[in-house]
Structure 1
Amino acid sequence: MTPLLFHKYHGLGNDYLVCHRSVAEQLRTEQIRILCHRHYGVGSDGLLIDSGDLHQPTLRIINPDGSEAEKSGNGLRIYARYLFDIGRVGHESFLVHTAGGDVHCRVHDDPHQITVEMGQANFSPAALPALIDQPEVLNYPLKLADETILVSLVSMGNPHCVVLVDKLDLALVHRLGPQIENHPVFPKRTNVQLVEVVDRTTLRIGIWERGAGFTMASGSSSCAAASVMRKLDRVNNRVSVNMPGGQLQITFDDNFQVSMSGPVHKIASLTLDEDCFAGGKVAS
Structure 2
Amino acid sequence: MKFFKYHALGNDYLVIDPKDCPAPPTAPQIKVICHRNFGVGSDGILLGPLPSDQARFALRVFNPDGSEAEKSGNGLRIFSRYLWDRQLVKDEEFAIQTQGGVVKSRVLDGGKTVRVEMGQISFWSDKIPVAGPRREVINEKITVGGRTFSFCAATIGNPHCVIPLPEINAGLAKQYGPLLETHPNFPKRTNVQFLKVLDRE
TM-score bracket relative to the smaller structure: over 0.9
Question: Which deviates more, 27-36 or 67-76?
Answer: 27-36
Aligned match of 2:9: 12
Q: Distance in 2 between matches of 1:38 and 1:173?
A: 18
Q: Which letter does structure 2 place at the counterpart of 1:37?
A: H
Q: Note closer, same or farther for the CA distance 1:26–1:155 as it changes in structure 2 (3 Å cut).
A: closer
Q: 1:26 to 1:94 in 2, by over 3 A?
A: closer
Aligned length: 198
CA spacing shift, 1:24–1:14, aligned 2, 3 Å: farther
Change beyond 3 A, Cα 1:182–1:24? farther
3-state SS of 1:34 partner? helix
Q: Check whether the contact 2:62–2:68 (CA below 8 A) recurs between aligned residues.
A: yes
* Structure 2: distance between partners of 1:170 and 1:196: 12
Please name the residue that 1:38 is paired with: 36
Amino acid across the alignment from 1:179: L
Q: 2:63 maps to which residue? A: 63
Structure 1 Cα separation of the partners of residues 115 and 196 of structure 2: 24
Task: Tell me which of 34, 47, 57 is aligned to 1:49.
Answer: 47
Check 1:165–1:190 CA distance in 2 against 1; reply closer, same or farther (3 A cut): same
Letter in 1 for 2:69: A
Supply the distance in 1 between the matched residues of 2:106 and 2:200 (Cα, whole angstroms): 27
TM-score normalised according to structure 2 size: 0.93
Task: Say whether 1:191 aligns with 2:188.
Answer: no
Does 2:113 align with 1:113? yes
Higher mean C-alpha deviation, range 192-201 or range 23-32: 23-32
User: 1:85 is matched with which residue?
Assistant: 85
SS in structure 1 of the partner of residue 15 of structure 2: strand
Q: CA deviation at 1:26?
A: 5.4
Distance in 1, Cα, partners of 2:159 & 2:24: 29
Summarize the alignment of residues 123-142 of structure 1 with structure 2, pairs less than 5 Å apart.
123-142=123-142
Shift of 1:52: 2.0
> Secondary structure at 1:120's aligned position in 2?
coil
Change beyond 3 A, Cα 1:70–1:26: closer
Query: What is the TM-score of this pair, normalised by structure 1?
Result: 0.66
Cα distance in 2 between the residues matched to 1:116 and 1:26: 25
Q: State the SS of the aligned residue for 1:149.
A: strand
CA contact (8 A) 2:145 2:176 kept: no
Counterpart contact for 1:14–1:45, Cα < 8 Å = yes
Secondary structure, aligned partner of 2:154: strand
Shift of 1:188: 1.2
Q: Which amino acid aligns with 2:153?
A: L
Structure 2: runs of 5+ lacking an equivalent: none
Deviations 1:173-206 (A, max 9, x none): 11221111111111111111000011136xxxxx
Q: Which runs of 5+ in 1 are unaligned?
A: 202-284
Query: 2: distance between equivalents of 1:73 and 1:199?
Result: 24
**Corresponding residue for 2:152?**
152
Percent identity for Structure 1 against Structure 2? 45
Shift of 1:31: 1.4
CA-atom RMSD in angstroms: 1.6
Are the aligned partners of 1:80 and 1:106 in contact in 2 as well (CA < 8 Å)? yes
Counterpart Cα distance in 2 of 1:34 and 1:176: 24
The answer to whether the 8 A contact 2:4-2:16 is kept is yes
